[in-house]
Amino acid sequence: MIYHVTTQMAWQQAQADGHYTAPSLALEGFIHLSTAEQVAGVLERYYAGQTHLLLLHVDETRLSATLKYEPAPSVNELFPHLFGPLNLDAIVLAAPIG
């Protein structure tokens, strides 16, 4: 299982669109994901103080787009990156954070 932090509004839009995208897909060419061990650090670094967040639980065996683990030099770790939209049938749970 891998994970993605998003907003309730973005999740609602994904359900309407039939797939999930993130701004990073257009800007960087991929959607940022995390392993279970990386989620807390991602929340601390990028989402401190934000509300209405969800944690998408993603079954990586169900992904339609290419998944690669790539280095994040700022933290010296490999992070999962999805090179395309996230298909909704790969999301097994959208759980509120907090």
pLDDT tens digits along 41-61:
999 999 999 999 999 999 999
Q: Is the pLDDT of residue 2 over 90?
A: yes
Tokens of 3: 């994970």
Q: Residue 74: its pLDDT value, please?
A: 79
H helices of 4-87, in order, are 8-17, 23-28, 39-46
User: CA-CA distance, 79 to 74, in Å (whole number)?
Assistant: 11
- Give buried/exposed letters for 21-35 (b at 16+ CB in 10 A, else e): bbeebeeeebbbbbe
pLDDT tens digits along 56-65:
999 999 999 9
Domains of the chain, each with CATH number or no CATH? 2-96 (3.20.170.20)
Give the number of other CB atoms < 10 A from CB of residue 89.
11
Q: Are 5 and 42 in contact (CB under 8 A)?
A: yes
Main-chain dihedrals φ then ψ at residue 36, nearest 5 degrees: -60, -40
Q: Residue 76: its pLDDT value, please?
A: 87
